[in-house]
Amino acid sequence: MDAPSIVIAPSILAADFARLADAARAVEGEADWLHVDVMDNHFVPNLTIGLPVVQSLRKATPIPFDVHLMIEDPERWAPGYAEAGAYNVTFHAEATDDPVALAKTLRAAGSKAGLAIDRDTDVTPYLDLLPHFDTLLVMTIKAGFGGQKFLPETLDKVRAVRRRIEAGHLEVRLEVDGGIAADTIEAAAEAGADAFVAGTAIYGAADPAEAIRKLRALGSA
Ligand code: DX5
Ligand code: ZN
């Protein structure tokens, strides 16, 4: 039997923000998802892009959008990204008191629902919620900035989530985000991740499409 296919999601946080449509086109045919980091300068110190940019970019490429909301009050903002045509909308566990309710809202609005766990958050209390989600994103850095060093200690959380997905026969993508590159993707894959976000390793490369092919080969091994 073939190994189940993995997802590679280039993060446009590392692309040229004046040429986002070109950045999307540069990975068409290679990327599975386009990872879009929305930051509000409150949940994290950084500030990136919001709904109007996502709405415009949605019209510029057929690649499914993986929207990663690093924002406060996701109840207010997350459904708009689903309505804008995002394939998956992930919000942070630390930003909401009722993640299951928001997951239901997102699914009703037409997207998959994702839950993100930041570097300093224990995943254990969220394992029982996995059946309500389509993706579980484990941050392998502290959320907020691209170009940080991968933290191998976060892989214990990936292992715990993978065990629960298998025990429950759940259909949940297990995504890692932060410092994923040729020298770290294999460890993340071995721990059980099957979706990989990479910003610097893809858009910092001379040939982003070739960088994706290389990551895919390493992450699938
Ligand atoms: C950071 C973002 C990441 C970021 C990863 O908080 O969530 O998606 O783009 O960037 P790299 O791959 O450079 O670590
Ligand atoms: Zn991200």
Nearest to residue 150, comparing CAs of 127, 182, 128, 103? 182
CB 38 within 8 A of CB 49: yes
- The answer to whether residues 39 and 70 touch, using CB atoms and an 8 Å cutoff, is yes
**32 assigned to active site:** no
What domains can you pick out in the chain, each with its CATH number? 7-220 (3.20.20.70)
Nearest ligand 1 atom, CA 198? 12
Which ligand 1 atom minimizes the distance to the CA of 201?
A: 12
Cα–Cα distances in Å, from 112 out to 34, 67, 147? 14, 10, 27
pLDDT at 4 (0 to 100):
63
Token output for 172: 């949940």
Nearest residue to 139 (alpha-carbon basis) of 156, 122, 159, 154: 154
- Is 98 an annotated catalytic residue? no
By most ligand atoms within 8 Å of CB, the mutation choice from 7, 16, 91, 145 for ligand 1 is 145
Task: Please say whether the beta carbons of 79 and 106 come within 8 A.
Answer: yes
115: nearest Cα among 102, 105, 144? 102
Cα distance between residue 31 and residue 54, in whole Å: 17
Q: Which residue has the tokens 């892989």?
A: 155
Q: How far is CA 187 from CA 55, 133, 155, 192, in A?
A: 35, 24, 8, 9
Task: Report the nearest atom of ligand 1 relative to the CA of 148.
Answer: 14
Task: List residues near ligand 1 (CB under 6 A).
Answer: 11, 13-14, 35, 37, 68, 141, 143-148, 177-180, 197-201
154 C-alpha to ligand 1 centroid (Å): 15
The three-state DSSP-derived secondary structure of 75-119 is: HHHHHHHHHCCCCEEEEEHHHCCCHHHHHHHHHHCCCEEEEEECC
For 73, other C-beta atoms within 10 Å of its C-beta total 14
Q: Which of 34, 200, 215 to mutate to test the pocket of ligand 1 (most atoms within 8 A of CB)?
A: 200
Show pLDDT as tens, one digit a residue, over the chain (221 residues): 445 699 999 999 999 999 999 999 999 999 999 999 999 999 999 999 999 999 999 999 999 999 999 999 999 999 999 999 999 999 999 999 999 999 999 999 999 999 999 999 999 999 999 999 999 999 999 999 999 999 999 999 999 999 999 999 999 999 999 999 999 999 999 999 999 999 999 999 999 999 999 999 999 98
Q: From the CA of 142, how far away is ligand 1's center (Å)?
A: 9
Annotated binding residue 144: yes
Q: Which ligand is nearest to the CA of 142?
A: 1
Asked if 192 and 161 touch (Cβ cutoff 8 Å), the reply is yes
